[in-house]
Amino acid sequence: MGCLKDVPTLRGDNYTEWRKKVDLTFVCAEVDWVVDTPQPPKSTEPVRDVKDDNSAWEKKKREYAPLEMSYTLENTKWLTTNKKCMAFIKNTIEHAIVGLVAECASVGWYLEKIKSQFTGSSKIYATQLLKQLVTEKYTGGGHDIREHLLRMSNMASKLKPMDADLEIKPAMLVHLVMSSLPKEFDTFVVNYNMQSKRWDIEKTIAMCVQEEHRIKFSYGGSLNYVRDSKKKNFPQVNQSSPSKPHGIPFDADYAKKRKMH
């Protein structure tokens, strides 16, 4: 039951992680069977036929008794387990989301309703995650390069559970990391590209940290990474005479004559 505290709150962009934790919790609590098991059907009660005498009718009731007992036990177990699981799930979902999911009698159907609600959201989140991963840039600031690379690795790891086709291979992740580095790492990136041997993400992190230390040392121990920015040059305008044509002298006598005419 220690798994209960590890289940994240379902907010819309973490459905895959939430479902994995819910399934693990159900397995640990030995209640996972209720997800795929429908509510036990009640056996048809015997009906006394007009031809049945007392002996025949009593026999029918005796034969039905164990079926009724079995149904009562199984149904009570199913109802209790289903109720607990349903309450658990609803308490791991944000209140605003609970209202979007239609009520269901069984926890299995309820989980299917949740899945259908968030399949589209998962696709949107995957698209946003891919876009962020491809455009991610390291600019220093309050973060070191190790934190930056671990964040990129974490983003890549979130894509595979959403869709196996979206899995970022280690070699591709390393190339994305290299493209996220600032221009101070240009020589470092060129040297890597010239090597025949490929690095995994752990090796890449270690080498990038080492390179950043080297660059900072060469700059005296501190470094502000330069961001790419293009400055536009605009022609200067003489603010003192806005109506005066640039490069043409102002003739006061000529202007006075034109005013008189």
Q: What angle do CA 214, 144, 182 make, to 5 degrees?
A: 65
Tens digits of per-residue pLDDT, 202-231? 999 999 999 999 988 887 766 667 555 444
Prediction pTM value: 0.48
Q: How confident is the model at residue 175, as a pLDDT?
A: 93
Distances (CA, A) of 223 to 8, 144, 184, 211: 38, 11, 10, 13
DSSP one-letter string for the chain: -GGGGGPPPB-SS-HHHHHHHHHHHHHHTT-THHHH-PPPPPPPPP---TT--HHHHHHHHHHHHHHHHHHHHHHHHHHHHHHHHHHHHHTTB-HHHHTTSPP-SSHHHHHHHHHHHHHHHHHHHHHHHHHHHHH-----TTS-HHHHHHHHHHHHHHHHHH-GGGPPPHHHHHHHHHHTS-GGGHHHHHHHHH-SSPP-HHHHHHHHHHHHHHHHHHTTS---PPPP--PPP-----TT-TTSPTT----HHHHHHHHH-
Q: What percent of the chain has pLDDT over 90?
A: 37
Q: How far apart are CA 189 and CA 230, in angstroms?
A: 23
Q: How far apart are CA 194 and CA 205, in angstroms?
A: 18
Determine the distance from the C-alpha atom of residue 53 to the mean position of all C-alpha atoms in its chain, rounded to a whole number: 69
pLDDT at 104 over 70: yes
pLDDT at 106 over 70: yes
* Residue 134 near residue 127, CB atoms below 8 Å: no
pLDDT at 174 over 70: yes
The single-letter code of the amino acid at 103 is E
DSSP one-letter string for 223-259: --PPPP--PPP-----TT-TTSPTT----HHHHHHHH
pLDDT at 131 over 90: no
Read off the pLDDT band of 235 (50, 70, 90).
very low
* Residue 37 near residue 45, CB atoms below 8 Å: no
Q: How confident is the model at residue 74, as a pLDDT?
A: 95
